[in-house]
Structure 1
């Protein structure tokens, strides 16, 4: 199934964009009544707060040094300014409170929700984001941690009722709307010429499983310390097949010039699968990402749209090679 159109899958110059949203809030911009409430929760005045790169949520995301010498990481958002993010934070509170201690995640120390402001206080992880482009040793470390995480989180330790639906799929909507279809064709001529196959993969996909999945496992949601891997930001967790997070992570590797296929053929969560199950996840990822990127209006965070476009095209690149 090779043609000139297929060759365009190579997408020269496709790389990982800057992994930071454009709408982060500095500590000084948070209303004083909110910071005072945070200090009350922490039991100490804040001596310094340092906004962090990585991730795309609006609002505060800062490493905070307290006057009593302790350090924490704080996320906060206003329902009036960023209602979707505030709701994500509410769901992340519910998920984080129920994650087992064995999971490679930061501990939620405290949280509050006054109806407008939603605040989460985590233990500070003295680490950094993985280097981009991916370094082979760091990618190996993270993939090993993903395998271990799937063991810890199977079966899921929490009721699905508190979780979100998986952020997957979009080809059915793309196919049904001419304007969106035209925008996606500009992003990926290959997708436009394989739309029927992508719709079929989405329509026939099976997401049955019992593993608690992160649901957004890309490099900007991973922290590395000297000896551990932490997975952060859990509002999009869902329950499904245990291979999905590993496929998601590997799909980003081609943005670093890494061929994910040989790695997948060796990986414990993927190597024994029917190949169609991997193809389904890749199609579902790309459909979600590219549909959202295509319909994003002028008010959307352009950094986020660029990231979703790049990750969606990366999933299609790997899928096209497999097909």
Structure 2
């Protein structure tokens, strides 16, 4: 059983893959309607697909397709894409790496910081100029705080252990589903919350963010506002979708806010 979702999907990808011989579904990371490593006549491919229904989910996949040519210095190569009546599918190279580790004592964090610095160096391409960062706007105190999140830096905005792959001689940042243009400190800030959730103290987490070039030049008031907005965002998510990982992220964000505002 090759575990492809339906005959239409198989027909769409066949010109690029040839006959499929084996399918391996990932253990985590189900932001798309279908994701798998496909072993086929023409090679191996990491395949992501979304139902071709207008909306935010499909837009996340088309944004990943559109930004892919410009992030090749940090991301796996997009080898092909296809739009069909029922599916939109992307086929990426399969990278030889493992999910990064954010726990205290890990040796992966220098590579993670280097990856974030490399993202910050990528010029914002024309296709992304209109992708203004607004995702945290609903959680700020006022419009002037939201303006602190605007900027001219290309952002990934979903930094977490599963999206940073560590290889023997290279690190990749994968899953570019939510790229935007905004303040450069935002990607390091999302790293801070992830590190706290993984067991770091807020001070330890920020000691890694400080190594990111965009953090060094950020206005502390902007970081404070972002910390509060992030806490409110995760609090809302945890109330509406009370899964354990969302509650853990809310706890981490609340701890960060306490550190930023009270030094504790």
For the criterion TM > 0.5, the same-fold answer is yes
Measure how far apart 1:241 and its partner are.
Answer: 1.5
- Output aligned runs, 1:1-323, within 5 Å: 28-42=3-17, 44-68=18-42, 70-79=43-52, 84-96=56-68, 98-101=69-72, 103-131=73-101, 133=103, 135-151=105-121, 153=122, 155-160=123-128, 163=131, 165-171=133-139, 199=141, 203=145, 205-259=147-201, 260-296=205-241, 305-323=243-261
- TM-score, with length taken from structure 2: 0.85
- Cα distance change of structure 1 residues 256 and 295 upon mapping to structure 2, 3 Å threshold: closer
Measure how far apart 1:133 and its partner are.
Answer: 2.9
- Cα distance change of structure 1 residues 283 and 126 upon mapping to structure 2, 3 Å threshold: same
Which residues of structure 2 form unaligned runs of 5+?
none
Larger Rg over CA atoms: 1
Root-mean-square deviation (Å): 2.7
Please state whether the residue corresponding to 2:229 is helix, strand or coil: helix
Please state whether the residue corresponding to 1:136 is helix, strand or coil: coil
- Cα distance change of structure 1 residues 228 and 272 upon mapping to structure 2, 3 Å threshold: same
CA distance in 2, matches of 1:136, 1:28: 35
CA distance in 2, matches of 1:229, 1:138: 10
- Cα distance change of structure 1 residues 202 and 64 upon mapping to structure 2, 3 Å threshold: farther
CA distance in 1, matches of 2:138, 2:104: 28
Q: Is the 2:133–2:149 contact (alpha carbons within 8 Å) kept by the matching residues of 1?
A: no
Please state whether the residue corresponding to 2:36 is helix, strand or coil: strand
Q: Is the 2:132–2:182 contact (alpha carbons within 8 Å) kept by the matching residues of 1?
A: no
Measure how far apart 1:104 and its partner are.
Answer: 0.2
More relative contact order, 1 or 2 (CA 8 Å, 6+ apart):
1
Measure how far apart 1:225 and its partner are.
Answer: 0.8
CA distance in 2, matches of 1:202, 1:254: 27
CA distance in 2, matches of 1:207, 1:111: 32
CA distance in 2, matches of 1:62, 1:171: 35
Q: Is the 1:91–1:162 contact (alpha carbons within 8 Å) kept by the matching residues of 2?
A: no
Deviations along 1:132-160, one digit per CA (max 9) or x if unpaired, are 53553101211122112211x2x312333
Which residues of structure 1 form unaligned runs of 5+?
1-25, 173-198, 297-301
Aligned residues: 258
Please state whether the residue corresponding to 1:137 is helix, strand or coil: coil
- Cα distance change of structure 1 residues 144 and 128 upon mapping to structure 2, 3 Å threshold: same
Please state whether the residue corresponding to 1:61 is helix, strand or coil: strand
Moved more, 71-80 or 112-121: 71-80
Moved more, 162-171 or 203-212: 162-171
- TM-score, with length taken from structure 1: 0.71
